[in-house]
Amino acid sequence: MLVDNIGWGDLGCYGGMAPTPRLDQLAGEGMRFQNYNVEAQCTPTRSAIMTGRLPKRSGTTFVPLPGQGDYGLSPWEYTLAELFSDAGYATALFGKWHLGDVEGRLPTDQGFDEWYGIKNTSDEAGYTSYPMFHETGYPAP
């Protein structure tokens, strides 16, 4: 039996079955990413796709733990959202950000007109139940 790896979750311009006419038009008028290699963790991967820069250059090489201070994309980083905004597109992000959780480093500070999601990761809800969490001195998320 031949299994097709193209599914309903893929964009039409990449051979998916779900209709995505606006994204297909955007891909047809610009460029399509055919090969993207991810980092070992989500924060460096997210920063690379948002900025087009290596995580080492943007200082986002690891997933920070609670209490490690301000982290994520620096306010001066130029993101894809800012690029699209400058070209006249409306931008929105829906879902996990994990590229900064303080004012100045949130999606709406990095070029997104609209954002609905979580700042970091949903597993933070369990941090305080971990053995020895309170002894670390980290603030509860």
Catalytic residue among 42, 63, 80, 83: 42
Active site residue 42: yes
Structural contact between residues 106 and 97, judged by C-beta atoms closer than 8 angstroms: yes
Q: How far is CA 54 from the centre of its chain?
A: 14
Structural contact between residues 47 and 58, judged by C-beta atoms closer than 8 angstroms: yes
**Which residue in 31, 19, 11, 14 sits closest to 84, CA to CA?**
31
**Which residue in 27, 36, 40, 112 sits closest to 73, CA to CA?**
112
Structural contact between residues 121 and 98, judged by C-beta atoms closer than 8 angstroms: yes
Catalytic residue among 47, 58, 98, 106: 98
Looking at the annotation, which residues are catalytic? 42, 98
